[in-house]
Amino acid sequence: MFPLVRRKIIALPPSLQKRSYVVATSLGAAASIPRRLDASLGHANRARYNMQIMAASEARRLAECLVIAAQMKENHLKPDISTYNALMSAVSRDGNWLQAWAILDDMFLAQRQRSSAYMWNVLDKMDQTGVPPNAATCTHIIRRFVNDENLEMALQYLFTMQSHGLVPELTAAEHVITLAAQCNQPRLAIDLVNWFENISPQRVGPSVWMACLTSSAECMYVQGVSECWKVVHHMNVLPDEGLCVSILHTAARRGRPNLATDVLRTLKVQEIPWKEHHFASLVEAFTRNKQIKEAFLALGMMRSHEVNPIDSTSATILDAVKINAESVDIACLIIDEIYEEKKSVDLAALKVLIQAAVHLGDLQRALGTYRSLPDYNAVPDISIFNTLLDGCIKTQHRQVADSLLVDLKEANLKPNQNTYEKIIYLCLAPETYEDAFFYLEEMKAAGHLPPWKVYKALAEKCRLNNDARFDIIIEEMKEFGYDIGFWQIPEGRGPEVH
């Protein structure tokens, strides 16, 4: 019911009281305005009331809309969805947000959504009087189940219609298909689309196909994504960036580089700038489709569009290359092939070769790739040196690390925190570890905060060698607020590790 003065509502929240008061005041004012309404209005049916409200709404006569609504209540006619839509349209044109809230409250309080028992009573009466349900009747039933998110019953009635010689209405089919998509059943949703369009001359709208596309992307159902993508493009509908990213993830996981490329084109059409995570999906799609060469080229394409690859961008290529020495050999041949074709070899691609060699413990191969960087017109960055230092730690080659530090300085590159960490770990390996403290101080002088794990490694080394600097390390850890609970120092004994 509409919020009138005579409506009795007990203990309303203040905000709701205010809303009801506003509408009641408006109705009181509306009652005093001249009205040129049909005298038989009070005896008209609900449809006529709704038409009167719609006409008044179009004419921007909000007070008249509320008067008609008041008469509906007086004649014991319950409003339907058309009534509420017309009233909301009227208040929106009037710009009265408080009355809009009041009408929304009234719609909830009117309990327009009855239980399904009322629907079954109507169907029983139809059966008793020999009135068979038609397509419109079945549509109402299906919409009821769809509103309750009861996909099973909605499907049952949808298919039962055909057995009774009825072709489902378009709205009924679209509601069920959309519900299936929202229930993460993209295969079912697409099958329903194809089934309906085979038995009906009508075609589902773009919003339904978009729902199927969204569901397929979220569920990584690549066949559904491919089918829906073609239809959506044929309808000239452009998915937003969020959906495009979901489709890119599906294309990446399922190894569909053509699909990923189409999505990148769509982003370009919408003037959405390409970013690292967009290209990462393309690189992964190429790699999973065993197109390593194209994946390497995609890294270079990123750079040409002013998007710098990061380690995670080429992670899938690295996983494919670092399997064994043979796979690294194949990758090297691919890099040479790209170079011989006069195409740019990106530094990220060469870094993959170095990372793969380090992973396999082949430091000599990693160094060989590093020394050959100038041949590919590539200049090493700090991440290349850090990767090589990982190889030095793995093979315990301190001398190689020292030569790399010389190269780093000659390249005018500043060590970052990771560089200092790796050097300190490398210096702690032999019996003589004085250089570790030197690099610790250099690290702090460069403005880097030594992490907890570096101090822990230093403390353990000092403990093993009964080094008095153990206490200094613990004090520094306390100053930086690091947890030292992993140390136990019983009375009369040296420090021990838990």
Domain membership flag for residue 258:
no
Range with lowest mean pLDDT among 104-113, 163-172, 210-219, 378-387: 104-113
Give 127's Cβ-side CA count (13 Å radius). 6
Q: For residue 221, what are the CA distances in angstroms to 182, 212, 262? A: 14, 10, 17
Collapsed DSSP state (helix, strand, coil) of residue 488: strand
Domain membership flag for residue 89:
yes
| Among 4-18, 99-113, 122-136, 467-481, the range of highest mean pLDDT | 467-481
Burial class (CB in 10 A: 0-12, 13-18, 19+), 117: exposed
Domain membership flag for residue 64:
yes
pLDDT above 80 (res 43): no
With bands split at pLDDT 50, 70 and 90, how would you rate the model's confidence at 76? confident
**Amino acid at residue number 223:** Q
Q: Given phi > 0 = left and psi -120 to 50 = alpha, else beta, which region is 34?
A: beta
With bands split at pLDDT 50, 70 and 90, how would you rate the model's confidence at 110? low
| Among 32-46, 134-148, 190-204, the range of highest mean pLDDT | 190-204
How far apart are the C-alpha atoms of 154 and 173, rounded to whole Å?
Answer: 10
Q: Identify which of 32, 52, 27 has the alpha carbon closest to the alpha carbon of residue 41.
A: 52
Collapsed DSSP state (helix, strand, coil) of residue 464: helix
Residue pair 388/403 in contact by the 8 Å Cβ criterion: no
Written as one string, the DSSP assignment of 304-333 is HTT----TTTTHHHHHHHTT-HHHHHHHHH
Average pLDDT over residues 373-400: 94
Per-residue confidence (pLDDT) for residue 4, from 0 to 100: 31
Q: Identify which of 192, 162, 170, 169 has the alpha carbon closest to the alpha carbon of residue 179.
A: 192
How far apart are the C-alpha atoms of 163 and 166, rounded to whole Å?
Answer: 7
Domain membership flag for residue 81:
yes
215 token code pair: 């569901």
Per-residue confidence (pLDDT) for residue 118, from 0 to 100: 65
Contacts of 221 (CB under 8 A, 6+ apart): 186, 187, 215, 250
Per-residue confidence (pLDDT) for residue 371, from 0 to 100: 95
Range with lowest mean pLDDT among 144-148, 309-313, 317-321, 442-446: 144-148
Token pair 């005896």 in the structure block, residue: 43
Collapsed DSSP state (helix, strand, coil) of residue 160: helix
Per-residue confidence (pLDDT) for residue 495, from 0 to 100: 39
Q: For residue 235, what are the CA distances in angstroms to 44, 207, 232, 239? A: 45, 11, 5, 11
Q: For residue 318, what are the CA distances in angstroms to 50, 160, 326, 360, 367? A: 67, 54, 14, 12, 17
Average pLDDT over residues 159-188: 92
Average pLDDT over residues 233-244: 94
Range with lowest mean pLDDT among 13-27, 287-301, 342-356, 452-466: 13-27
259 token code pair: 């699909």
Give bridge partners of residue 496 from the DSSP assignment: 488
More confident residue, 164 or 40: 164
Residue pair 442/420 in contact by the 8 Å Cβ criterion: yes
Residue pair 243/224 in contact by the 8 Å Cβ criterion: no
Residue 201 DSSP symbol: S
Average pLDDT over residues 81-108: 84
Per-residue confidence (pLDDT) for residue 117, from 0 to 100: 63
Q: Beta strand pairing status for 487-488 and 496-497?
A: antiparallel
Per-residue confidence (pLDDT) for residue 187, from 0 to 100: 97
Domain membership flag for residue 96:
yes
Phi–psi pair at 394, nearest 5 degrees: -65, -35
Number of domains in the chain: 1
> Which uninterrupted H or E stretch holds 497?
strand 496-497
What range does the domain containing 26 cover?
14-109
